[in-house]
């Protein structure tokens, strides 16, 4: 019995999830993980707002407490989400998403805000 070596999973080596936002085409669903929510300082039921620069093909996200903000719901225990056809149309107009014919699109969220407190979203191009 002393020749048997028992191996158990080590939970201390968790990898840190990247700062990303995902858009699912079907249902125009937007989602992001807790790291992004913590970065934006937004919680369940809180809101976010988006801004676009069509000329530079860039988008931005920030926390928003106004009534017309996009309110976050829980997708699962680690993800927040909301749906908006109008917002998807804005993303499509800026990034031509439907021309790429993908099921979903991912954006990196910059860790550092710009001078207006907004975090830039960078489209991750699929290879």
Task: Kindly report, residue by residue over 94-116, the tens digit of the pLDDT.
Answer: 999 888 888 899 999 999 999 99
Tell me if 6 is assigned to some domain.
no
Tell me if 67 is assigned to some domain.
yes
pLDDT by residue (tens digit) across 82-97?
999 999 999 999 999 8
Edge-to-edge order in the sheet of strand 73-76: 70-71, 47-53, 58-63, 119-123, 104-109, 20-24, 29-33, 79-83, 73-76
Domain count, the chain: 1
Tell me if 11 is assigned to some domain.
no
The pTM (predicted TM-score) of the whole model is 0.82
Q: Give strand pairing partners of 80.
A: 32, 74
Whole-angstrom distance, CA of residue 89 vs CA of residue 23: 11
Tell me if 2 is assigned to some domain.
no
Average pLDDT, rounded, for the chain: 88
Residue 29 lies in domain: 20-123
Tell me if 111 is assigned to some domain.
yes
What's the full length of the chain, in residues? 127
- In 3-state terms, what secondary structure has residue 89? helix
């Amino acid at each position: 019995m002393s020749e048997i070596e028992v191996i158990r999973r080590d939970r201390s080596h968790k990898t840190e999830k990247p700062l990303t936002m995902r858009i699912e085409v079907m249902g125009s669903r937007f989602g992001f993980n807790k790291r992004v929510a913590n970065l934006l300082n937004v919680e369940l039921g809180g809101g976010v707002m988006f801004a676009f620069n069509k000329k530079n093909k860039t988008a931005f996200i920030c926390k928003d407490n106004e009534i017309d903000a996009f309110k976050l719901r829980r997708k699962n225990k680690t993800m927040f989400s909301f749906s908006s056809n109008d917002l998807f149309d804005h993303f499509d107009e800026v990034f031509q998403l439907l021309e790429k014919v993908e099921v979903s699109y991912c954006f990196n969220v910059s860790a550092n805000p710009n001078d207006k407190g907004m975090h830039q979203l960078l489209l991750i191009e699929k290879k």
